[in-house]
Amino acid sequence: MNTHYQILIIGGGTAGIMTAAQLLKKDKNLTVGLIEPAETHYYQPAWTLVGAGTYNYDKTARSMASVIPKGVQWIKDYAMGFNPDKNRVSTKKSGDFTYDYLVVASGLVMDLTMIEGLEESLGKGVVCSNYTDPNHTWEVLKKFKGGNAVFTQPTTPIKCGGAPQKIAYLAADYFRKNSIKANVVFATPGSVIFGVKPIKDTLMKVIHNYGIHFKPFYAPYKIDADKKIVYFKSIASDENQCVINEDNELGEKSTGEAIIEMPFDMLHLAPPQTAPKFVKESVLVNDAGWLDVDHKTLQHNRFRNIFGLGDVAGLPTAKTGAAIRKQTPIVVENLLRLISTGHVSNTFYNGYSSCPLVTGYGKMVLAEFDYKGNFIPDSKLKQMLVFDSSKEHWRLWMLKKFMLPYLYWNKMLKGKKV
C-alpha cells in the first residue's frame, strides 16, 4: 500500500465517494487514496421510509468495496489526527499517510451524551430514532396503541434537518389510517417549522390538517425512560414564552424556570450530532467545531491544499445529500484548477441544499434553497414534474421512493452528472 497520495480523501460516505469518482472521471492518472473503516455504505435518505414501514432496510445497504471507484486505493482504517503543516494524516492501525492535497469528507457522528438519559434509552422500549435504527422506529410505530407520540430534535446541527418532522407526518398519517387516537407532538428548538417561506406555509397547513401539536422553542435535554417523561428547556424570549396550562391535553408540566416535562407513549428524536472527535479536536475547525472552509470555494480557510465538503463542513446550509451533489463538482473543479494553475477557479457554491419533506404516505414537498433561504427549485426537475414543488404531490413521493435511490446508486456514486 502507498503511504503518499497526490489526493487523499477521508470518508467513504456520499461526499467522499462522489469526490473520488468525479476526480477520476476528469483525470484517471491521479493517485487517490480513501480512508474509510466501514465495510458497508448506506443510502440513509431512505431510512425515513424504513421507519414508516414503506421501504426495505436491506435495500439501503451495499458493500463499501462495491461503491469505491476503480483506481482508488482503499485504506480500511480510522483516521485519527492531522498534521497539516507536514501534509500528514495518522490512522489507527496503518500508520501515517502523506498527501499533496487533502479532502475531508468524514461526515458527522452522534453524541448521545449531550442529552441526559439518551444513551441508556435509545433503541429500547418506545424511544426510537430513524438516525440510528429505523427498523426499531417501525416496530414502535406498529405497537403504539394511543397517547402522546412525541417527535423532537436537538439544538445541534443535524444531517437532514427535516427528517425529525418527516417521521412525525408519516406517523400522524399512519395513526389516522389505522384509527389510533394519538396526540402527535413536534417539538423543536427552532422558532419556525421551516425557514423557507413557501415551504413553511405548506407545512403549517399539513400540521393543522393532522392536528399536530407544534411546539417551537423546545430544546430537549433529558429523558427518563422508566417514567416515560422527556424534559425540555424553553429557549423562547420572554415575549414568546409559552404558558403551560394545568390539565392540558398532553399532560405537560412546567417545573421551575423554563423547564417543561412532557409524558410520552412513544418518543422519536434525532440525537445531537457533532464533527468526529479527530476533526473536532484538530486545528482545522472553526469556533463551532466544524471544518473551517470557505463558504463559496470549499477550500480550507488556513490550509490551501485542504478542501472539505458534506456534513463535516462548517457551512450555513442544511447537511443533505442534495447539498453534497452540488458541492462535489465545486471541490473537484477547484482542486484540479489548484493543481494545474496554483489557484482555485471562479466556480462558487451558492449554498444549495434540498430537503424532500415527506408529508404522508404518497405525498411529499420538495424544499430547495440557498444560503439566503431563497426557494430555488431545480429547473430541470421543475420541467420534468411540471408543477409547484412547494406543494404536496404524489409525483414527489415517487421521486423520493424510486427515482432518487436509483440516481444515487447508478449516477451520483459513479461520478456521473445528475
Residues 121 and 320: their CA atoms lie apart, in Å, by: 27
The one catalytic residue among 118, 298, 355, 357: 355
The Cα 34–Cα 55 span in angstroms is: 30
| DSSP H or E stretch at residue 336 | helix 321-341
The CA distance from 9 to 5, in Å, is: 9
Q: How do 79-83 and 88-91 pair as beta strands?
A: antiparallel
Cβ atoms of residues 114 and 22 within 8 Å: no
C-alpha cell at 155: 439544538
- Measured at the alpha carbon of residue 155, what is the angle toward residues 18 and 284, in degrees to the nearest 5? 50
| Number of neighbours of residue 249 by Cβ within 10 angstroms | 9
The partner residues of 364 in beta bridges, in order of sequence, read 358, 393
Report which DSSP code applies to 400: I
Classify residue 354 as exposed, middle or buried by CB count within 10 Å of its CB (0-12, 13-18, 19+): buried
Q: What is the grid cell recorded at 399?
A: 421521486
Any catalytic annotation for residue 128? no
Q: Does residue 160 carry a catalytic annotation? A: yes
Indicate the DSSP class of residue 72: E
Q: Of 23, 64, 105, 160, which residue is the catalytic one?
A: 160
Q: Cell numbers of 328, please?
A: 462535489
Q: What's the count of helices (H) and strands (E) in the chain, helices before strands?
A: 12, 22
Cell of 237: 424570549
Q: What is the CA radius of gyration of the chain?
A: 22
Please provide the size of the chain in residues. 418
Comparing C-alpha atoms, which of 281, 313, 284 is closest to residue 297? Answer: 313
Catalytically active residues, by annotation: 160, 355
